[in-house]
Amino acid sequence: FEEYFNTKTKNIIDTIVYSLSDKSTRRFIWAEICFLHLWWKQADSEMRERLRRLVVETKQLELVTGGWVMTDEANTYYTAMIEQMIEGHDWIRANVDEWTQPSHGWSIDPFGYSPTMAYLLKRMNFRGMVIQRVHYHLKSYLNSERSFEFIWRQSWSTALNENSDIFCHVMPYDHYDVVREK
């Protein structure tokens, strides 16, 4: 984890801060707070303030999901999902801005999705979510129907209880490539 941060992630975050600061039309999103935490510990006060400005003032850097990590949704108990979200959101409030709260979920690389995560995001007042890694048959079907966006309703929801519905966008890529008509 720390080696990956030192060889890859630290440079990415440094580049984000410099690039966004240099050009106001640029935008970027960041999801995993554990890496931002390591960067923050090593950054000087000027870099921290630049990042804070990009999130709070110019809104060029959007923190999405804001969990400590991108949770594994396939085999995780819901309390673990909640705890890592609390840890990430607490870190954001303590270090970046006490009023900053992510409003969109970003879950592009877990091995399986859970209706629990969609439900939890909605209950945390998220407005929508983006997912990526779905079975290729489903992605092909969504592509043919031009339905990469939908309202995710939990199977336990009823017409009278729609507070678990959340807007969902499936990225139209096959992992890191575009979907091609077959």
pLDDT at 167 > cutoff 60? yes
CA distance 76 to 147: 28
pLDDT at 179 > cutoff 70? no
Mean pLDDT, the chain, whole residue set = 90
Q: Are 34 and 28 in contact (CB under 8 A)?
A: no
pLDDT in tens, 117-140: 898 999 899 999 999 888 888 888
pLDDT in tens, 90-113: 999 999 999 999 999 998 887 778
Mind telling me the catalytic residues? 109
Least confident of 35-39, 126-130, 177-181: 177-181
CA distance 164 to 155: 10
* Number of alpha helices (DSSP H) and beta strands (DSSP E) in the chain: 7, 6
pLDDT at 109: 81
pLDDT at 3 > cutoff 90? yes
- What number is the average pLDDT over the span 155-168? 76
pLDDT in tens, 55-77: 999 999 999 999 999 887 777 88
Q: What share of the chain is helix, strand, coil (3-state, %, to 5)?
A: 45, 15, 40
